[in-house]
Structure 1
Amino acid sequence: MSPRPHILISGAGIGGLTAALALLSRGYRVSVLEQASELAEIGAGLQISANGAHALFSLGLKPALEKVWCEPVGKEIRLWSTGETWKLFDLGAVSRQRYGAPYFMIHRGDLHRILLDAVTALAPDAITVNTRVTGFEQDDAGVTVIAEDGARFRGDALIGADGVHSRIRNSLFGQMPAHFTGLMIWRGLIPMERLPERLHRPVGTNWVGPGGHVVHYPVRAGALMNVGGAIERDWRVESWTERGTTEEALNDFRGWNEDVHTLIRNIEVPYKWALLGREPLERWTVGRVSLLGDAAHPTLPMMAQGANMALEDAIVLARCLDKHAEVPAALQAYESARIERTARLVRAANDNATRFHNPALGNAEGAARYVDTEWQEEKVKQRYDWVFEYDPVRVAI
């Protein structure tokens, strides 16, 4: 029996590590090439819905995840000025019953650590750090990846899991056009003990208003509150590490409810980044090279599905490689199985960016009418059921 293909993965983020784990657990040789000198995932909270949970649970990670996740009972909409509250949808037991898996919130760093531990347990030498991929060459027999320091790595396939500014994608298709959405996001974490009891509820909360919205939910087993606030403002630096100030963030949300100001004042370090929009790619595979996660389908965060799409990609990729003897056929099948769904999710996030910031939210009377219309139960089901019902472990490929 011939050995299984050797898969090269550029990028050791959430998507790259999940793909590595899915492949290693199936007996593939995997080499993950990461440009950072040490493996530590930056960022704050992630929302993992049932579709993403199916992917993680299939890799045996549920016991480790349960130690650090928060499983909310639901999601709520709150009005920016008065704090009036509407239920968006139920989660908790309802997600398990309806979609077969929980919906949970988790610190990005916690998920990254769990994935990293699982990968290194299977293959201690699978990840090479300090390796900045600058290019690749492919032929009928395989792919050679070229690093900035001149090192070369040979494998049967290359997966670009190197993020929104993917070098692999740019090498395949050129620079991906991006446009400034007119929005920037503030993000940060708050030790839960700093917050009043009224903000400790186990729900995901989305404050909506004219020109902005604020999302917050607990992570790290309830020890931290994750906060993200989007505002219409001309800030165009697309970086997760750009620091701002508390005063600047408070000014951006001047006039908002005191609960929002309480959250902002207690963020340990406020970071800000610009939201750049990109149209979905028409293809992301060429021969023995393909893309995964944000490299393939960068999306705005308004559907909370960026990480979930990467998790789905990883499982479907591994299944396609299992199904097809020839690597190029497997990668093409993977793209075909994923491209329509991911494009739909990108467009749905774009639609939510507009929905969350509608001018009708400017006053209580108009807001009540708008919320009753836009977040009525049937419309919410139409927007989300198709997302949560997807199971990458069982979907046809």
Structure 2
Amino acid sequence: MARVAVIGSGIGGLSAAIALRAKGFEVDVYDQASELSEIGAGVSLGGSGMRVLDALGLGPAVREASANLHRIEFHHWLSGDIFYQHPMGSWYEQRFGGPFLGIHRADFHQILLSAYGDKPHLGHRCVALRESPDGVDLEFANGSTTHADVVVGADGLRSTVRAHVGEPDEAVFSAMSCFRGLVPVDRVPGGDRFGLTFFLGPGRHLVAYPVRGGELINFVAYVPDPEWTQESWSARCAPEDAVAAFHGWNPVVTTLLANAVETGRWALYDREPLRTWSTGRVTLLGDAAHPMLPHAGQGTNQAIEDAAALATYLESDLPLHEALQRYERLRKPRTRQIQLGSRANATCFQVPDGPPADERNARLQGLPQMVGWIHEYDVYAAMETGSEA
């Protein structure tokens, strides 16, 4: 079987490595980080992503480490009143073929590392790729080199591999930043009843949900901020900064923010959808291919779907370049639509009180129908039926 080099050891890169190894490929993972740490907070996993994780045998471990988000609620920013709610839990699983879970990124990452079975090659920042009919030569900043038959760029928003595949482009700043953190559940008013919880207000919104079996509440609080341009998982700020940004909001929000164990803050970027993801032997996956703003909660699920599709097409009898083209044709329309929809959601979530909010709240009554196409998607069925847009 071909040797595959995966650049990036995040969720997308490790999911791809696991899926490829399950198909018999020789896989090595490279990452620029010098060590793997518990950076990050929570991520959500929906039916489409869990379908892949179940197929890879990771479902039980993921469920054990997660919290099942048993309902979704939208609250008014000041009063705290619920203006829309819907059951999740068993309803969601029956409707979409898998659970909707909240999981700590570090817990999920450890499950993936264990399933991968090897240590990624750390301290390997890819700086150059040279592609030939015989394979791809990779060069790293530490001076080392390697050769692979196929290269998968899963190296995120600032991907080096993306620059090899497509036309040069710039990350798009949303003029918005977010505060992220984790709070022990007993420090959150009503935290033991949290599902997927939104507080929506003029120019700001907050999303919170339990992780780690309900022990912690993960929050992401979004604010307009053209001045804060630092895009970094490791950027930290004082909890008081987040509280000040939500001054006057419902006490549940301000108490949640004030009790964070540690608060991160980073600017939100995405990129314009790419025309092409692949060359003859190199392709992209996850944020390297389709970086999304987090307002649809789909970045993780889309990377996992990518991994399943890529491994399946590479295992097929198709010539390599055609396998990569099939992968791209399947994945590009779906991820493009979610990318652009994620941008629109930020505006929807932050409209002022009065008629704009009333109109938004009325539209939310149809939420299960509006997002059903995202959550019910079966990447394996799409490949079997050849439903490439």
**1:220 maps to what in 2?**
212
The whole-number CA distance in structure 2 between the counterparts of 1:73 and 1:150 is 50
The whole-number CA distance in structure 1 between the counterparts of 2:85 and 2:170 is 34
Select between 210-219 and 39-48 the one with higher mean Cα deviation: 39-48
Query: Structure 1 residue 58 and structure 2 residue 58: aligned?
Result: no
The whole-number CA distance in structure 2 between the counterparts of 1:372 and 1:283 is 37
The whole-number CA distance in structure 2 between the counterparts of 1:176 and 1:241 is 25
The whole-number CA distance in structure 2 between the counterparts of 1:202 and 1:170 is 42
User: Is the alpha carbon distance of 1:131 and 1:277 closer, same or farther for their aligned partners in structure 2, counting shifts above 3 Å?
Assistant: closer
1:178/1:276 contact within 8 Å kept: yes
Task: Render the CA deviation track for 1:204-260: whole Å, top value 9, x for unaligned.
Answer: 101100000000000001111101100112221111211111222111111111110
Matched to 2:368, the amino acid is K
Matched to 2:271, the amino acid is R
Query: Structure 1 residue 117 and structure 2 residue 114: aligned?
Result: yes
Aligned residues with identical type, % of pairs:
38
The whole-number CA distance in structure 1 between the counterparts of 2:170 and 2:315 is 34
> SS at the partner of 2:265?
strand
**1:256 maps to what in 2?**
249
User: Is the alpha carbon distance of 1:297 and 1:88 closer, same or farther for their aligned partners in structure 2, counting shifts above 3 Å?
Assistant: farther
**1:276-295 correspondence runs (5 A):** 276-295=269-288
**1:244 maps to what in 2?**
237
Matched to 1:232, the amino acid is P
Select between 320-329 and 264-273 the one with higher mean Cα deviation: 320-329
Query: Structure 1 residue 80 and structure 2 residue 77: aligned?
Result: yes
**2:157 maps to what in 1?**
164
* Equivalent residue in structure 1 for 2:176, among 183, 186, 191: 183
Select between 280-289 and 300-309 the one with higher mean Cα deviation: 280-289
Task: Render the CA deviation track for 1:322-355: whole Å, top value 9, x for unaligned.
Answer: 2244221111111111000000000110110110
TM (norm. structure 1) is 0.93
Query: Structure 1 residue 306 and structure 2 residue 295: aligned?
Result: no
Matched to 1:135, the amino acid is A
Select between 210-219 and 93-102 the one with higher mean Cα deviation: 93-102
1:88/1:375 contact within 8 Å kept: no
Shift of 1:66: 2.0
Matched to 1:162, the amino acid is D
Shift of 1:76: 0.8
The whole-number CA distance in structure 2 between the counterparts of 1:245 and 1:314 is 37
1:137/1:145 contact within 8 Å kept: yes
Shift of 1:368: 6.3
Matched to 1:381, the amino acid is P
The whole-number CA distance in structure 1 between the counterparts of 2:61 and 2:175 is 39
Query: Structure 1 residue 381 and structure 2 residue 374: aligned?
Result: no
Q: CA RMSD in A?
A: 1.5
The whole-number CA distance in structure 2 between the counterparts of 1:142 and 1:368 is 55
Matched to 2:269, the amino acid is L
Shift of 1:367: 6.9
**2:37 maps to what in 1?**
40
User: Is the alpha carbon distance of 1:274 and 1:368 closer, same or farther for their aligned partners in structure 2, counting shifts above 3 Å?
Assistant: closer
**1:391 maps to what in 2?**
378
2:239/2:258 contact within 8 Å kept: yes
User: Is the alpha carbon distance of 1:191 and 1:213 closer, same or farther for their aligned partners in structure 2, counting shifts above 3 Å?
Assistant: same
**1:131-170 correspondence runs (5 A):** 131-170=124-163
Task: Render the CA deviation track for 1:268-297: whole Å, top value 9, x for unaligned.
Answer: 111111112422111111110010000000
* Equivalent residue in structure 1 for 2:203, among 204, 211, 216: 211
Shift of 1:89: 3.4
Aligned pairs, how many? 383
**2:93 maps to what in 1?**
96
Query: Structure 1 residue 199 and structure 2 residue 191: aligned?
Result: yes
Structure 1 residue runs of 4 or more that deviate by more than 6 Å after TM superposition:
none
Query: Structure 1 residue 231 and structure 2 residue 220: aligned?
Result: no
1:209/1:357 contact within 8 Å kept: yes
Select between 170-179 and 45-54 the one with higher mean Cα deviation: 170-179
1:54/1:393 contact within 8 Å kept: no
Shift of 1:371: 4.1
> SS at the partner of 2:267?
strand
TM (norm. structure 2) is 0.95
1:107/1:219 contact within 8 Å kept: yes
The unaligned stretches of length 5 or more in structure 1 are none
> SS at the partner of 1:131?
coil
The whole-number CA distance in structure 2 between the counterparts of 1:225 and 1:13 is 22
Select between 294-303 and 367-376 the one with higher mean Cα deviation: 367-376
Query: Structure 1 residue 270 and structure 2 residue 259: aligned?
Result: no
